[in-house]
Amino acid sequence: MRVRDTNEILLQVEGVALSFGGVRALKDVSFNVRKGEIRAIIGPNGAGKTSMLNVVNGFYHPDRGTITFKGRTRDRMQPFEAARGGIARTFQNVALFKGMSALDNIMAGRTLKVRRGLLWQALRCGPALREELEHRHRVEEIIDFLEIEAIRKVPVGRLPYGLQKRVELGRALAMEPDLLLLDEPMAGMNLEEKEDMSRFIVDVNNQYGTTIALIEHDMAVVMDLSDRVAVLDHGVKIADGTPDEVKNNHAVIEAYLGVAH
């Protein structure tokens, strides 16, 4: 149930600036993410992409600017508030509990959804038991969707990198986010793993209707997957538009694509 053709703004970032000591990582950056779209943020190394994601999910607090998510404007997000509000995130380097199974890692993504208190859970009766069954059902659906039944009981530290990334995506999906932030979902993957991950990203967007904002260095993937692409260079947004518009933008060719050739 794709909701791509809407102009409703889910996330608006307005005039965000962020410095680390003397390094100005973001300089007055504004962009939005529409409900239902796949939105990419690209740019050369050090352009400010990860810093931008970190501002959106509250890991970093901007020096200036505002973030409006689902109609609520604030000058900073708290990570917990962002997660509770419906923003989930995966990381450049996989951040899973390596000794735990794929199933338990994905189950951990349900933590924010737990409604019953600890006592109820400890007693494992009545409403708490019903709630746990509901969570397990949802997690099994995600495991099916990501085609990882065969490795559900395997400690994730023993899985190949591509599958670890898939489990990490599963954990983010378990939060049932409105906005899914993916930090270099294809990094370190071989071609086959990239194709699989691309397919899952499109399917998440299509079937769950999840809005996705991603950072990615693989240009072919970005241009293929995204509805719109914002380009950062040295902390400044230098272009924003459809993949075709961005591909043909002179400043982008100079700043980014030029670097690759």
Ligand X SMILES: Nc1ncnc2c1ncn2[C@@H]1O[C@H](COP(=O)(O)OP(=O)(O)OP(=O)(O)O)[C@@H](O)[C@H]1O
Rounded to the nearest whole angstrom, what is the least distance from the CB of residue 191 to ligand X in the complex?
A: 21
Considering the complex, state which of residue 7 and residue 45 has its C-beta at the smaller distance from ligand X.
45
**What does 59-124 look like in DSSP terms, one character per residue?**
SS--SEEEEEETTEEES---HHHHHHHTEEEE-SS----TTSBHHHHHHHTTGGG--S-HHHHHHT
Rounded to the nearest whole angstrom, what is the least distance from the CB of residue 17 to ligand X in the complex?
A: 12
User: CA 105 from chain center: how many Å?
Assistant: 17
* Residue numbers at the binding site for ligand X (CB under 6 A): 20, 23, 25, 43, 45-51
Considering the complex, state which of residue 68 and residue 92 has its C-beta at the smaller distance from ligand X.
92
The encoded tokens of residue 59 equal: 């890991």
Considering the complex, state which of residue 129 and residue 251 has its C-beta at the smaller distance from ligand X.
251
Rounded to the nearest whole angstrom, what is the least distance from the CB of residue 147 to ligand X in the complex?
A: 29
Rounded to the nearest whole angstrom, what is the least distance from the CB of residue 260 to ligand X in the complex?
A: 13
Rounded to the nearest whole angstrom, what is the least distance from the CB of residue 235 to ligand X in the complex?
A: 7
Cβ–Cβ under 8 Å, residues 43 and 58 = no
To which H or E segment does residue 13 belong? strand 9-20
The Cα 257–Cα 3 span in angstroms is: 31
Considering the complex, state which of residue 27 and residue 247 has its C-beta at the smaller distance from ligand X.
27
Rounded to the nearest whole angstrom, what is the least distance from the CB of residue 104 to ligand X in the complex?
A: 29
Considering the complex, state which of residue 51 and residue 226 has its C-beta at the smaller distance from ligand X.
51
- Cross-strand bridge partners of residue 239: 231
Token look-up 């980014």 returns: 256
The Cα 188–Cα 48 span in angstroms is: 20
Considering the complex, state which of residue 49 and residue 237 has its C-beta at the smaller distance from ligand X.
49
